[in-house]
Structure 1
Amino acid sequence: MITGVNTVVVWVLDQDSAKTFFTEKLGLQARADVPFGEGVRWVTVGPENEPELQLSLMVPGAPVQDAEAAGQLRSLLAKGALVGCTFTVEDCHAAVEELSARGVAFLQEPHPKPWGISATFRDDSGTCHELLQPHQ
C-alpha cells in the first residue's frame, strides 16, 4: 500500500541555476547535491516543514532518456510546455508579493478556483508551477 510521496522529478535545463531558483527565490531547502554516475548529479530540494518530500532537479539525458528523448524533453522545457508542482501556501496574495520581490515572474496573479486561490509562475527552465491557498 502506498503511504506517501518521497521524490518528485522536476525537469530543468541547468541544475545549478535551478537549485539557485528553488532555494533562493522560492525558499526551499537544499537537500542533496551528489555525483550520481558519469557526468550526472542527484540534486534535490524541498520544503522545510516536509523533510520526507524532495524535488529532484533532473536534467534530461542519461541515464533516464536516450539522446532523442532527452532532446525532445529539452525542447518542451524551452517552449514552456511542461507543468510541474503545486506548492501550497497559507496566503496566496502574500506569497505572490514576497516571491515577486525575489524575482519570480508570475503568469497569472492570484484568482479563485473551486479548490482555493491559485497563482501560476514559471521556473528558470520554463516549467509552469502553481501556488495554491487551499480552501479551509
Structure 2
Amino acid sequence: MSTITKPQIQQLQTICSGKFRNREERLEAISEMMGVEVNSITELNRLQADELIYFFNTGKTLDHSSWALFDKYNTQHKTVLSLCHQLGWVQEANPHFVDLQRLGGWLKSDRSPVKLPLKEMNRTELSKIIFALQNILKSNYK
C-alpha cells in the first residue's frame, strides 16, 4: 500500500494541533482509532490518512461496506462470507449477517493480500483472500 503523502501529513498535523494538547495525546488517539500502535504519523498509509482526515473534518467514519458487497451466486464469495461468520465478523444487532463494514475495512487494510472491492476480484484474487481468512481463522484457534 502506498505511504502517506507530505500534504496528508501537513493536513493531519494542522487538524490535530487544534484537537490535541501534545504529540503523545495525538498518537494515542490515532492508535486507538486505527486499532494498531502508531508511533508516528508517517507510519500511516494513504488510505489510513484519508480516513483520519475525513473523520476529523466530518466526525463520521468512512463506510467500508461497499468493498464487501458480494455476489450471492459466486461460490468464492459464499466461502468468504462463511469464513467471516466463523471468525465472528458479524453484526452485533443481527449476528446472522456478516459485518460488511469490518470485512470492507479488512479488504482495504495492509493485512489484505488484495486491495480491491470483493466484486472486482477475479478467481485468483478471491483465492488469495480466502487463503488469508483461513489463516486468520487457524491462528485464532492456536
Question: Which bracket does the TM-score occupy, shorter chain normalised?
Answer: under 0.3
When normalised by structure 2's length, the TM-score is 0.27
When normalised by structure 1's length, the TM-score is 0.28
Higher share in helix: 2
Higher share in strand: 1
